[in-house]
Amino acid sequence: MPKWDKNTFIEKAKDSCYPHISNILIDLVNFADDSADTISWGRGKDCGTMVYKCKSDDFGMVPLFHITTNGQIKFQLNYMRTNIAKKEIVRDFQLKLESNFLMDFDEDEYPSDLFHEIDDLFNIKHEVEKFEDTIQGISARLKQ
């Protein structure tokens, strides 16, 4: 049984992170609460986790991103590369992440899914909104 839920996650994020980072985490949790098909909450003792999942008819439940109460985010791009047969969806996700964060998510440069510091990627509210749009777009494509 998960130890974490929306309220405990937000409370821990507020206690663990600088206010601008916890605000981004809260925005992402609220976004997930409104639009994810399923949210998985972690069972860890010291650090809370949340995974945004999209239900796909072809591929089952697909995790798209993972956040932690200590201010980190992981994009499940390599998970998708190995589990999604529609490579154009994975490529679209990669291109949108590269555009949003000005990082290279090529298979050679990004061979495994890594945690990134939230404050390294998101500086203004608009960047969070662009990421949310990316997730909504990929979710819609996975449901086609």
**Mean pLDDT of residues grouped by 10 in the chain (144 residues)?**
87 96 97 97 92 93 97 95 92 94 86 92 94 96 90
pLDDT score for 108: 83
pLDDT score for 2: 61
pLDDT score for 29: 98
DSSP β-ladder status, 38-41 and 115-117: unpaired
pLDDT score for 58: 86
Determine how many CB atoms are found less than 10 A away from the CB of residue 126. 9
Q: ∠ CA 39-94-59 to the nearest 5 degrees?
A: 50
What global pTM score does this model have?
0.93
